[in-house]
Chains A and B, each alone.
Chain A
Amino acid sequence: MMIPPQVTALAWVQMSGPSSPLLKALHIAPPLGSPQPLYSVGGVALLYGVQHAPLVYLALRAGLMNVPRDGMEAARLSGASALRTFRDIVLPLALPGMIAGAAIAFVSCIGNFGIPAILGIPASIYTLSTLVFTKFAAFTDRTFGEVALLSGVIALISVAGLAVQERALGGRDYRILGQSGAAACLPVGRWRFVFLPVLAILLFFMLVAPFLALLAGALVPAYGVPLTVKTLSFHAFEEVLLRQAITRTAFANSLFLAAVTAIGLLVLSVLAGYMLTRRRDAASRMVASLIEIPYALPGIVVAVAFILVFAAPLPVFNVTLYGTIWIILVAYFASFFAVSLKPVVSAYRQLDPALEEAARLAGAGFFTRLKDILVPLVAPAAGASVILVFLIACNELTVSALLWSAGTQTLGVVIYNLDDSGGSDLASALSVLVVLMVVAMMLLLEAMAKHLPKGAVPWRS
């Protein structure tokens, strides 16, 4: 579920269309010459949905976990049927999570680059983000002006989307009291026999099939060759792992950027989240709105802004950030702050203020309270935010597509460039490695999970 969008797109392309190695191997490929169905607006939209389903799921799950069992039981005893309880109690309590998830997905789609770059550009279907990219690729005198304008449009749409979310969430204070109640369990009952197969089919098409297609794409010697036992080769893996220095650089770059971003943002989020939820004076309101600005800006806008600002050397230090890895790092901080902040803010919102007040009366100053009370209590959310940021940053393409230069390629950039230049077998091989890396990290976390506070790993309870 943490698979980067360009990899998802690549996998789906390999899974469908006339030259899919997987379909060919199974002898169900459409005839040659028939159009690739995903190279269309519908295809882009479908993959947006596939890509962002986990984001919405995580946000929604966080919301649902807050529904106390006694609240549901009270509703049942008030005479509400199971369905009615769901509508009247569970849904309103989970609503902040749902709206937050929808907003993240919307803003994320607006700024998404990987999917429309792989599916849209070959079919001359441009989204705002890929248009910015192509303008940069064909650099002219007017480029700066044009991309600034396009980025402005993207920013406006995103801000509008977030304004809707702010309005919907405004004035709702769903802090649940400090008493730890049991989390609710919804019995699905006989509906299980309907839900389970549907879920299994969905999961198969969202996870297993694309990965198999990707694997098939990586194992054929060249694009379009059908995969049989005879044609099977590990040539592409050898190439990306052993011969190409660039892919190893990309691994190192991406891991470094992701680690520094995730840890740096964790510290910032814990502090900023506190300010946003607790202090109500004018200064913190201003800070709050300042932090909201990078949240509203999709990665592509941030990247354009950073190019415009840092293209020239910094005035005082006379250092040029542009072209170094540091501009990517700074841009990551700006664009993933939102991802990092949201879970932490949600956690702060749901803390009973009395828990902190009790610590104040116990004599604890701000930093003592932060260390002893607040951080342990928001730790699950903060843990989730670190993992999210790390995995997203590790596989990021949108920002680095504009900011990379020789030696600072990220994994996303290398995969896209390989696919763009016709090396879809190499791109697939690298993608398979990325997927394996993501899965390995998730397994590692899974193994650590029992030593972490409850809820720290986002996909576990």
Chain B
Amino acid sequence: MAKLILNNVSKDFGTGQPAVSRVSLDVREGGFLALLGPSGCGKTTVLRMIAGFEAPSDGAIFLGERLLADPAQSLPPERRNMAMVFQSYALWPHMSVADNVGYPLKVRGVSKEVYRRRIVEALDTVRLADLADRRPADLSGGQRQRVALARCLVTQPDVVLLDEPLANLDRHLRQEMEETFREFHIRSGATMIYVTHDQSEAMALATDIAVMSRGELLQVAPPQEIYACPEGRLVGSLIGRGAILSLAVPAAMLRKLDWGAIRALLGAAAPDGGVLADVLVRPEDVRLGGEGAAARVRSSLYEGERYSVTLDLADGQILRAFSRERPMPGDTMSVTITSAWRL
């Protein structure tokens, strides 16, 4: 196992706009990277290039010292020692569950005994041991998913790729499968790359998140960092549910702003020579009540554990907050912003 390196990788399908442009990415050994982005942002193309189903039109992909692909040559997928969970699961309908799971072993030509033992182990891990003789068609979505995962378990792949594996499952099953993935990651120690458009999934599972949009890589960072310190307006709006305020922040000021600084900036109605900057305010950093700036409640939405409140500031900018009590639309209340981040 080794580090997976994407060096300036681009892919152009000849449609005028490149599907992936100049993506550079280091996935550390044993890391769990989530490729996060809206659909059509090129994240699946990146995954398929890593797997070897597409060749990059520019740049290179390495696994440690070994060159996997560049525009001139591409190691075929069958020789990359990777495994993948497909969105459609890609189980072979003519084979039993056990045969599906054991196929990578069969291709590698292991002995009958090892073959049988490893299948049982893999199916035990995903708790499907008693369904070994069924056909994929007789299984439910979650069970098919687990078979596909077990198929990745039987060999020791260098890299495991997951293409929106939870997209077709219900919420309850998702949580269960997330747990299975996490367990799988810890147990196997494989480098995992997980394509998803669901950020809570990405946050919960990954050790690193790579945010993509329109074929470009915007930021790579651990989940906590990407949430607290996003780079640029696009990442800031894609991750979490923050509000973005336009404030005249002096360039010399720290990027992390406290209430003192924000209060002064909110008061400054017109930018005094400075340029307007985007400032991200997370709803959990907004306190309602007490001393603070005046804001009018635009709407409040009950979400079970709390109300999600949308507020209009005095200058018309929008702010989001959470509240235990139900604020009535039209009410005026004072707000305190304990922390904000300049994008």
Bound Cα distance from A178 to B52, whole angstroms: 21
User: Which residue of chain B is the closest to A354 with respect to CB atoms?
Assistant: B90
- B151 interface residue per 8 A CB criterion: yes
Q: Does B83 contact A (CB under 8 A)?
A: yes
Kindly supply a per-residue 1/0 record for chain A positions 352-393, scoring 1 wherever the CB is within 8 Å of any chain B CB and 0 otherwise: 101101111111110010001100110000000000000000
Nearest CB in chain A to that of B91: its residue: A178
- Judge whether A368 and B107 touch: CB under 8 Å: yes
Closest to B159 in A: A361
> What chain A residues lie within 8 Å of B90 (beta carbons)?
178, 352, 354-355, 357-358
Task: Known contacts A180-B136, A377-B94; decide if A363 and B88 are in contact (CB<8 Å).
Answer: no
A177: nearest residue on chain B (CB-CB)?
Answer: B88
Please, what's the 1-or-0 string for B73-105, where 1 marks a CB less than 8 Å from any CB in chain A? 000111111111011111111100000000110
B108 interface contact, C-beta 8 A: yes
CB distance from A69 to the nearest CB of B (A): 13
> Looking across the interface, which residue of chain A has its beta carbon closest to that of B160?
A361
Contact A363 B84 (CB under 8 A): no
- The distance in angstroms between the C-alpha atoms of A253 and B92, with both chains bound, is 41
Task: Judge whether B53 is part of the interface by a CB distance below 8 angstroms.
Answer: yes
> Which B residues are CB-close (under 8 A) to A362?
78, 83, 103-104, 107, 151, 155
Nearest residue (CB) in B for A182 is B137
- The reply on A453 being an interface residue by CB < 8 A is yes
> Is B51 an interface residue, CB under 8 A from the partner?
yes
Q: A363 and B136 in contact (CB under 8 A), knowing A355-B92, A357-B86?
A: no
- What's the minimum C-beta distance from B120 to chain A, rounded to whole angstroms? 18
Q: Is A179 close to B, CB under 8 A?
A: yes
* A178, A354, A362, A372, most chain B CB atoms within 10 A: A362
Query: B110-145 interface mask toward A, CB cutoff 8 Å, 1 = contact, 0 = none?
Result: 000000000000000000000000001100000010
CB neighbours of B79 from chain A (8 A): 363
CB atoms of B77 and A360 under 8 A apart: yes
**B94 cross-chain contacts in A, Cβ below 8 A:** 376-377, 453
Verify B89–A178 contact, CB threshold 8 A. Answer: yes
* Chain B interface residue count, Cβ-Cβ cutoff 8 angstroms: 32
Q: Helix, strand, loop or mixed for chain A's interface?
A: helix
1/0 per residue B279-310: CB within 8 Å of A? 00000000000000000000000000000000
Given known contacts A178-B93, A364-B107, A358 and B78 CB-to-CB distance under 8 angstroms: no
Complex Cα gap A365–B108 (Å): 11
Q: Among the listed B87, B104, B161, which residue makes an inter-chain contact with A363, where contact means beta carbons less than 8 Å apart?
A: B104
Chain B residue with the shortest CB-CB distance to A375: B94
Are B84 and A179 in contact (CB-based, < 8 A)? no
CB of B76 within 8 A of CB of A360, answer: yes
Contacts of A364 in B (CB 8 A): 78, 103, 107
Roughly how many angstroms separate A115 CA and B295 CA in the complex, as a whole number? 89
Residues of B within 8 A of A361 (CB): 51, 77-78, 80, 82-84, 104, 161
Q: Are B107 and A358 in contact (CB under 8 A)?
A: no
Residue from B78, B81, B93, B155 in contact with A365 in the complex, judged by beta carbons closer than 8 Å: B78
Extra pairs beyond A177-B88, A179-B88 (17, CB < 8 Å) = A178-B89, A179-B137, A180-B93, A180-B137, A355-B90, A357-B51, A357-B77, A358-B84, A358-B86, A361-B51, A363-B79, A363-B81, A363-B104, A372-B103, A373-B92, A377-B93, A453-B94
11 A-B contacts, Cβ less than 8 Å apart?
Answer: A179-B137, A180-B93, A352-B90, A358-B84, A359-B107, A360-B77, A361-B78, A361-B84, A362-B83, A362-B107, A377-B94
